[in-house]
A and B are shown apart, each in its own frame.
Chain A
Amino acid sequence: MTVRDWLTGQSFADQYEFGMDMLMYLTNGSPLP
């Protein structure tokens, strides 16, 4: 299952939160969870 598959069907708010979290990890250079 890809992330896109996993996100599909989730609410806009949940997908937005996930996207912002990913952006934060990339911006800070933190390791992905």
Chain B
Amino acid sequence: MPVIITPAIRVITPHQASLDSGWGPRCNPFMFRLGACPRKRGAAGTTAQQVKQSFFGALAILTTAIPVGDVLDAFLGTRAAQVAAEDLPGYSSFRAAKADLGSPGAGNVYDHVVEQSQVARSGFTPEEIHNPFNLDPVPRGINQLKPTTTPASGPSPAG
């Protein structure tokens, strides 16, 4: 629906939009930018009856209710959504990543989904670990809970 693209452009601030516009927690700024974020159920889809009210009403609704990821997909195409994580540029240090990516949002911190310790343990490169795909903006409290609630042993090999 190309007619909705113009009014929706103003929404695009990748991180803030990923936090505030109905996108799930499994989303970081780069996933959002690529349209690869899973969407929370019921985030959109309430506009069908409202749109028929009037042209101007519909226009107003479209500017706020159309999923931003769909608009981005229209711009970027499906190919961009298929870009693998390893194709994204990484950073040699967490400090450099934070400096370049900007704030994760008020009260949030960047969480390494694959832990930094795995550089030494598993031989991953710093660029893989400090990759935007691996850096997830989460509330500080969740980030602090992670090491204390992770079970002392992993799942059984059979499980």
Q: Smallest CB–CB gap between B74 and chain A, Å?
A: 27
Measured between beta carbons, the chain B residues less than 8 angstroms from A15 are: 113-115, 118, 122
A9 CB contacts on chain B under 8 angstroms: 121-122
Stretch with Cβ within 8 A of A (4 or more), from B12-20, B42-50, B58-66, B142-150: B142-150
Chain A: minimal CB distance from B58 (Å):
35
Q: Which residues of B contact A22 (CB under 8 A)?
A: 146, 150
The chain A residue with its CB closest to the CB of B86 is A12
Asked if B25 CB lies within 8 Å of chain A CBs, one says yes
Interface range on chain A: under 10, 10 to 19, 20 to 34, or 35 or more? 20 to 34
- In the complex, besides A1-B154, A2-B152, A8-B118, 18 extra interface pairs with C-beta distance below 8 angstroms are A3-B154, A4-B115, A6-B153, A6-B155, A7-B122, A8-B122, A9-B122, A15-B113, A15-B118, A16-B85, A20-B113, A20-B136, A23-B113, A25-B149, A26-B145, A26-B146, A27-B25, A27-B142
B contacts, CB < 8 Å to A: 25-26, 85, 111-115, 117-118, 121-122, 124, 128, 134, 136, 138, 142, 145-146, 149-155
